[in-house]
Amino acid sequence: MSGFPSFEYRDNELYVESVPLSHIAKTFGTPCYVYSKKVITDAYQAFDTAFADNDHLICYSVKANANIAILNLLARLGCGFDIVSGGELQRVLKAGGDPGKIVFSGVGKNTEEMRLALTAKILCFNVESEAELNALNQIAAEMGKIASVSLRVNPDVDAKTHPYISTGLKENKFGIPIDDAERIYTTSQELTHIRFTGLDCHIGSQLTELGPFVQASDRILSLVSRIESKGIEIEHLDLGGGLGIRYHEEETPSIQEYVESLCTNISQLNKRILIEPGRALIGNAGLLLTRVEYLKQTPDKNFAIVDAAMNDLMRPALYDAYHEILPVIKNDINKETYQIVGPICETGDFLGHDRELNSTSGDILAVMSSGAYGMSMSSNYNTRPRVAEVMVDGDDVHLIRERETIDHLIATEKILP
């Protein structure tokens, strides 16, 4: 339980902060995402404190979990935001986020999204291709505005993570090849509605070693000196997100160690440092509560069929990701090995394989470390309404998203005349 400081057993019952999870299951039903305000706040403050000696801006990567209560909590703490769509921009603004602290990432920003972001006066566009740079220049010109830009460079570094979430290798679709960046910074002066203010990179997600971050920041460092020697001043360096969390047995660097490793070389430049953490801020702050519907024994396996499924938490099905699964009421006697599976009609619909549990129908289980890329990647597959989300704050529980209904799901559909 060491990875979940605000999730602990008291007399064999699992609590979030001061609230027993069985109370939440009873009040709000299952499946249901539960977040701890304290864990989110502590994680943000750990980043902020670690950067205390540097001019810095922490831009939470909204895609990890876009609930507006979470965005609002972070905005109140002083956090900025890394967005990848016009929709995320609107969420951040609605949640009270400061547009002057927003960076806009992503390989495929469309013209409408660029317009929205220019109107909102965001801090910076992280541009990922020359074609995008030209399009942004044209739109900014039409609007009579100047777009602040960082080029996102691809430093060709192996992040040593799952191939689906590795982004900094030259064969990946992300960023501008590092060897082209210098030319683009220096030859794009005729783009009269672009102002280069920064340099950006993001090499992947769920990194459990510091080496790749250091390698990438070294490459960025030497690129900055080459660009500045041509008379272009870089105001900030955006080093992306990617710090991994402990799901199972991973040994992950602490936030402090991560920030120190980023700053070792970069801080000599005396520039503002931006980072875009998602998972490290929210991943271990959330869990998915689910109820065991049925136990089923076959000659080969024991199945615990639960009411949450791959549409609620896609990570196991998509990346074969491991999430710890804990009983809300602990019973260590007569445990058996179970496949924890959902009701969806796919063999890939599982939340955990080979878990030791004493389980009965009606038991409540907690799928841990699901705060990041859980709700935000959920879908309505099998016409399953998205689940409720609640935030615990001490002994208070707040509903921060109502459970969807079937009416919500079909509201925009139309039958032929």
Does residue 124 touch ligand LLP according to CB under 6 A?
no
Tell me if 165 contacts ligand LLP by CB under 6 A.
yes
CA dist., res. 236 & res. 171, Å (int): 26
Nearer to ligand LLP, 14 or 199 (CB): 199
Backbone CA torsion sign across 38, 40, 42, 48: negative
Binding mask 310-349 toward ligand LLP (x if CB under 6 A, else -) reads -----x----------------------------------
263 is catalytic: no
Farthest CA pair distance, the chain = 73
User: Exactly one of 36, 65, 67, 206 binds ligand LLP (CB under 6 A); which one?
Assistant: 206
Task: Give the DSSP letter of residue 326.
Answer: E
Min dist CB 283 to ligand LLP, Å, is 7
**285: number of CA atoms within 13 Å, CB side?**
26
Find the binding residues for ligand LLP in span 356-385 (CB under 6 A): 372-373, 377
Restricted to residues 237-256, the positions that interact with ligand LLP (CB under 6 A) are 240-243
Query: Residues 263-292: x/- map of binding to ligand LLP (CB under 6 A)?
Result: -------------xxxxx------------
Site membership for ligand LLP, residue 65 (CB under 6 A):
no
* CB contact at 8 A, 97 and 71: yes
- Shortest reach from residue 203's CB to ligand LLP, in Å: 10
User: Omega of the bond prior to 343 within 30 degrees of 0, cis?
Assistant: no
Answer yes or no: are the C-beta atoms of 248 and 1 closer than 8 Å. Answer: no
Which listed residue (56, 101, 109, 202) binds ligand LLP by CB under 6 A? 202
64 binds ligand LLP (CB under 6 A): yes
193 binds ligand LLP (CB under 6 A): no
Min CB(45)–ligand LLP separation in Å: 17
Output the smallest distance, CB 329 to ligand LLP, in A. Answer: 29
Q: Which is nearer to ligand LLP, 241 or 327 (CB)?
A: 241
Residues near 396 by Cβ (< 8 Å), separated by ≥ 6? none
In angstroms, give the least distance from the CB of 117 to ligand LLP.
15
Other Cβ atoms within 10 Å of 172 Cβ, number:
16
Beta carbon nearer to ligand LLP, 30 or 126: 126
Q: Determine the Cα–Cα distance for residues 85 and 122; give it in Å rounded to an integer.
A: 13
Collapse the DSSP code of 210 into the 3-class scheme (helix H, G, I; strand E, B; otherwise coil) and give the result.
coil
Compare residues 278 and 342 and give the one whose CB is closer to ligand LLP. Answer: 278
Among 205, 290, 359, 378, the residue binding ligand LLP under the rule CB under 6 A is 205
- Cα(97)–Cα(246) distance, integer angstroms: 29
Residue with tokens 């074609």: 131
Contact indicator for 85, 107 with CB cutoff of 8 Å: no
Which spans in 53-204 are helix H?
Answer: 68-77, 86-94, 111-120, 130-143, 178-187
Tell me which residues touch ligand LLP (CB under 6 A).
61, 64, 82, 105, 165, 202, 205-206, 240-243, 276-280, 315, 372-373, 377
**Hey, which residues are catalytic here?**
345
